[in-house]
């Protein structure tokens, strides 16, 4: 019992020391709080693949009703913000070139006349391929407007058409397909991960750079005790951080929270443990803080790209998809969105938690082994 | 620059070079990470969705409904799973195994024949808004094509009045890879210019070697220049590697000018280096410097640059912020210079903007370093 208490006090002392190492300095303290909040606010609105506020250029040589009506319909669409008219084809081309507009329409002189005469009227559409994603979506919007207009023209001309089919849609979990519901929970996961990773990655390498790590190694602390002492502060800091971010998500962004707080926190602890394990591993192989920060980046960048946040995992080639199973955040994305929006049941949460637990076990043992190796 | 001594400058440059050479992490960030990113963008990340898993609920099994089903089966955008069991499909949607469910309602064909509106129902998973919008847009596309097909079958003489002839300039097949690979250069240059420089200089402040350096006869501008040159060259080397791989391995077209590419990268690197120096001088602490570099260098290059996410779709305040940071200008030039060739009217204003930001950051960095000497 005495022995146990002794171990407890030793680890506690180390934990307090670790927390003070980041918390003591005013600038570092600010860095723990301010950037994640700024990032959450800016990125939640910026990081969407949604396309609106579209600028469109028009070169209209036709003075008839049909082109005029089509332009009015485009202007009335919620997606098209600016519609500019140009005098010559060259001006339109220039507007695309210098990215004043992303798409242009060119009406021939006989556009309305041909339609009225029942002949097909060609409409030239030019899209800017330098914005491949936006161009595709813009073309989709335009096609819909054109198809509806076509049907209205035929009806107006008294052509007897078969009933055409409309689409009614309903969106589960997010009735208005609001991007904030997706970006905010995802960012809570990303920002907590970033913080847990940097705090742990720096914790060992800072001591090594200052030469105090050797002192720690000659102290009566066992390697596993050092490991716990390094882990716990990072866990505490990042759990506080994610709590702060979640409060912001609920109060400021009005993201619904449908699931269980208990399930969220238990899976989050497993997630953060796996990240802390990776951070400690990076830290244990780095000699300087610079190396550990850069090492963190070499981990972070591919993780962000392959996690399914920016682009869906289904779009990736099939041989690459298994690799995403090694990324803890992939599972936690599913869980955090599931609990926020879908009230995900415990069984499903567990299904996505155990792979993270496995990763945590592996990375933490690896880091512990590295510490032990240092000692020998 | 009356007091500029090349001897002192080169001596200091030598020291910086040795420092870079000694630390493998510099090469990790300048060459290994770019390779990793180029491979991920080249092979992995794609904005072009295909084979999105879609459930099709058939409540009507008439030939008309079957023909619509075939229209869905025939598109490469969807991987369709047909079923008659609503609850099974809905469970798959909730579990994330399907991205949407299209329901062909009962009496669908009867209603069509009688001229009663027969809307299709589409259920979406709103927790993935990007995919949800994609499913909605493409389902609409499939249905309206099918509509036209039906009209033509009924009245073969009928032709749609307006025949859109879309053409895509600069990237005919709308390959997202051709856009992402050039853009990723901006991210790598930000990492080298801002993060790496900020860390290296912050470490000197942290350890006190900066003060020691200042007590030597070296002038402040000699020292700053000697700090900038190695990372500038490292950045250009890394850029060359990225361009080489993009063009040879991934066959991204390069229609512009290498001189423009080189000059644009240089101006951008100056801005990024200036920001890095400024951060390190102000923070003098590696942890703080890394956090601020991520906030002002890495994330803007990634997210506020138009590289993946469309700037015009962002709220006005965020759009305003993008103008204050160099990545948006650089990404515009990179994508244009690769895909459309040299368009001076586009390049010059972007150069000017980057140049102003670069002078601002560098000037501020120099000013702060001098002040701190007192």
ipTM of the shown complex = 0.88
pLDDT band at B80 (very low <50, low <70, confident <90, very high): very high
Nearest in space to A93 (alpha carbons), one of B253, B334, B170, B174: B170
The arithmetic mean of pLDDT across residues B210-218, rounded, is: 80
Asked if the C-beta of A326 comes within 8 angstroms of chain B's C-beta atoms, the answer is no
Of B25, B147, B191, the CB nearest to A165: B147
CB B160 within 8 A of CB B242: no
Q: Which of B25, B40, B140 sits opposite A305 (nearest CB)?
A: B40
pLDDT digits (tens, 9 = 90+) for B299-343: 889 889 988 888 998 999 999 999 999 999 999 999 999 999 999
Region B48-66 average pLDDT = 87
Mutate to test the interface with A, among B161, B196, B205, B341 (most CBs of A within 10 A): B161
Q: How confident is the model over B161-190, as a mean pLDDT?
A: 89
Q: For the segment A111-128, what is each residue's pLDDT rounded down to a tens digit? A: 999 999 888 899 999 999
Digit-by-digit pLDDT tens for chain A (376 residues) are 567 888 888 888 888 888 887 788 788 888 888 889 999 998 888 877 788 899 999 999 998 999 999 999 999 999 999 999 999 999 999 999 999 999 999 999 999 999 998 888 999 999 999 998 899 889 989 988 998 898 888 888 877 776 777 788 888 888 888 889 999 999 999 999 998 998 898 888 888 888 888 888 788 888 888 888 888 999 999 999 999 999 999 999 999 999 999 999 999 999 999 999 999 999 888 888 889 998 998 898 889 889 888 778 878 888 888 999 999 999 999 999 999 998 888 998 999 999 999 999 999 999 888 888 876 6
Q: How far is CA A202 from CA A227, A270, B103, B287, in A?
A: 14, 21, 54, 8
pLDDT value of residue A277: 93
Please answer whether residues A59 and A108 qualify as being in contact, where contact means their C-beta atoms are separated by less than 8 angstroms. no
DSSP SS3 for B171: coil
Render pLDDT for B232-254 as a digit per residue (tens, 0 to 9): 999 999 999 999 999 999 999 99
Residue of A nearest to B52 (CA): A314
Q: What is the CA radius of gyration of chain B?
A: 28
Token pair listed for A25: 């300095």
CB of A314 less than 8 A from some CB of B: yes
pLDDT of residue A23: 80
Quick check: B127 and A342 CB within 8 A?
Answer: yes
pLDDT of residue B224: 84
Nearest-Cα distance to chain B for A222, in Å, is 27
**Of B163, B146, B136, which is closest to residue B77 (Cα–Cα)?**
B136
Size of interface A-B (CB pairs under 8 A): 365
Contact A131 B310 (CB under 8 A): yes
Look at residue B287 in the predicted model and tell me its pLDDT. Answer: 86
Give the distance from residue A284's alpha carbon to the nearest chain B alpha carbon, in angstroms.
Answer: 14
β-partners of residue B52 are B78
Provide, as residue numbers in chain A, all residues whose Cβ is less than 8 Å from the Cβ of B101.
Answer: none
pLDDT of residue A263: 95
pLDDT given for residue A135 in this prediction? 92
Measure in Å the smallest separation between the Cα of A311 and chain B Cα atoms: 6
Per residue in B260-287, pLDDT (tens digit) is 999 999 999 999 999 999 999 898 888 8
Q: Does A21 touch chain B (CB under 8 A)?
A: no
pLDDT of B154 over the 80 cut: no
Selection from B297, B199, B192, B173 nearest residue B242 by Cα: B192
pLDDT number for residue B28: 84
Strands (E), chain B: 52-58, 78-83, 100-104, 120-125, 162-169
CB distance B169–A142 less than 8 Å? no
Q: Does B196 have pLDDT greater than 60?
A: yes
In the block, residue with structure tokens 């620059």: B1
CA–CA distance, A98 with B332 (Å, rounded to integer): 10
Which pLDDT score is estimated for B374? 47
Question: Average pLDDT over chain B, rounded to whole?
Answer: 88
B204 band by pLDDT with thresholds 50, 70 and 90: confident
Angle between helices A132-156 and A65-76 (to 10 degrees): 130
CB atoms within 10 A of CB A10: 18
Q: What is the pLDDT of residue B372?
A: 57
Among A333-342, B42-51, B102-111, B169-178, the range scoring the smallest mean pLDDT is B42-51
Confirm whether pTM is higher than 0.95: no
Decide: residue B30, CB within 10 A, 0-12 exposed, 13-18 middle, 19+ buried. buried
Percentage with pLDDT > 90 across chain B: 41
Q: What is the pLDDT of residue A86?
A: 94
Are residues A262 and A348 in contact, defined by beta-carbon separation less than 8 angstroms?
no
pLDDT at B56: 94
Supply the pLDDT for residue B349.
Answer: 96
């Amino acid at each position: 019992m005495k022995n146990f208490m002794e171990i407890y006090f030793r680890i506690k002392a180390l934990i307090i020391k670790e927390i003070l190492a980041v918390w003591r300095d005013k600038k570092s303290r600010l860095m723990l709080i301010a950037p994640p909040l700024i990032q959450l606010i800016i990125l939640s609105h910026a990081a969407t693949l949604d396309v609106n506020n579209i600028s469109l250029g028009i070169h209209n040589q036709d003075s008839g009703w049909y082109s005029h009506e089509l332009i009015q319909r485009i202007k009335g669409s919620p997606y098209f913000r600016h519609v500019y008219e140009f005098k010559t084809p060259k001006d339109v081309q220039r507007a695309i070139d210098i990215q004043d507009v992303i798409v242009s329409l060119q009406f021939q002189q006989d556009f309305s006349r041909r339609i009225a005469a029942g002949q097909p009227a060609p409409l030239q559409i030019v899209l800017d391929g330098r914005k491949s994603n936006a161009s595709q979506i813009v073309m989709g919007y335009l096609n819909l407007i054109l198809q509806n207009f076509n049907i209205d023209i035929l009806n107006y001309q008294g052509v007897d058409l078969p009933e055409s089919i409309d689409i009614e849609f309903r969106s589960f979990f997010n009735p208005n397909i609001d991007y904030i519901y997706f970006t905010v929970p995802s960012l809570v996961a990303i920002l907590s991960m970033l913080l847990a990773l940097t705090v742990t990655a720096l914790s060992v390498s800072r001591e090594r750079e200052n030469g105090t790590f050797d002192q720690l190694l000659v102290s009566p602390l066992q390697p596993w005790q050092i490991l716990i002492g390094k882990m716990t502060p990072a866990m505490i800091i990042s759990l506080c951080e994610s709590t702060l971010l979640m409060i912001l998500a609920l109060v400021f962004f009005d993201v619904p929270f449908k699931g269980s707080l208990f399930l969220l926190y238990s899976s989050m602890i497993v997630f953060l443990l796996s990240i802390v394990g990776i951070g400690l591993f990076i830290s244990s192989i780095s000699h300087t803080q610079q190396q550990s920060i850069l090492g963190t980046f070499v981990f972070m960048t591919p993780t962000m790209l392959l996690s399914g946040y920016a682009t869906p995992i289904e779009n990736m080639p099939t041989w690459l998809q298994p690799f995403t199973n090694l990324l803890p955040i992939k599972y936690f994305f599913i869980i955090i969105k599931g609990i926020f929006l879908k009230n995900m049941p415990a069984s499903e949460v567990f299904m996505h938690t155990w792979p993270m637990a496995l990763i945590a076990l592996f990375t933490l043992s690896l880091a512990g082994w590295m510490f032990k190796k240092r000692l020998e | 620059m009356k007091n500029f001594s090349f001897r002192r400058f080169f001596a200091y440059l030598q020291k910086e070079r040795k420092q870079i050479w000694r630390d493998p992490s510099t090469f990790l960030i300048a060459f290994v990470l770019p390779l990793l990113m180029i491979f991920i963008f080249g092979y992995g990340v794609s904005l072009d969705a295909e084979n999105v898993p879609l459930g099709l609920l058939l409540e009507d099994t008439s030939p008309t409904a079957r023909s619509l089903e075939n229209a869905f089966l025939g598109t490469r955008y969807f991987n369709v799973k047909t079923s008659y069991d609503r609850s099974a499909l809905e469970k798959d949607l909730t579990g994330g195994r399907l991205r949407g469910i299209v329901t062909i309602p009962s009496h669908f064909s009867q209603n069509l024949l009688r001229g009663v509106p027969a809307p299709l129902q589409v259920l979406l998973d709103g927790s993935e808004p990007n995919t949800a919008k994609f499913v909605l847009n493409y389902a609409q596309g499939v249905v309206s094509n099918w509509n036209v097909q039906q009209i033509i079958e009924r009245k073969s003489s009928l032709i749609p009045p307006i025949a859109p002839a879309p053409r895509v300039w600069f990237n005919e097949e709308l390959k997202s890879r051709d856009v992402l690979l050039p853009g990723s250069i901006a991210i790598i240059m930000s990492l080298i210019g801002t993060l790496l420089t900020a860390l290296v200089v912050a470490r000197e402040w942290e350890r006190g070697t900066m003060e020691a350096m200042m007590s030597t006869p070296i002038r402040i501008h000699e020292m700053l220049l000697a700090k900038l040159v190695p990372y500038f060259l490292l950045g250009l080397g890394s850029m060359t590697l990225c361009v080489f791989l993009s063009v040879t391995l991934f066959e991204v077209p390069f229609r512009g000018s290498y001189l423009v590419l080189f000059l644009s990268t240089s101006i951008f690197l100056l801005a990024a280096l200036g920001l890095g120096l400024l951060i390190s001088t102000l923070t003098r602490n590696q942890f703080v410097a890394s956090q601020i570099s991520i906030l002002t260098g890495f994330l803007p290059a990634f997210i506020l640059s138009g590289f993946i996410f469309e700037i015009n779709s962002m709220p006005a305040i965020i759009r305003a912020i993008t103008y204050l940071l160099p990545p948006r200008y650089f990404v515009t030039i990179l994508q244009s210079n690769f895909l459309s060739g040299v368009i001076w009217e586009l390049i010059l204003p972007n150069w000017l903007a980057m140049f102003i930001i670069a002078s601002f950051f560098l000037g501020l960095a120099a000013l702060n370093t001098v002040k701190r000497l007192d």
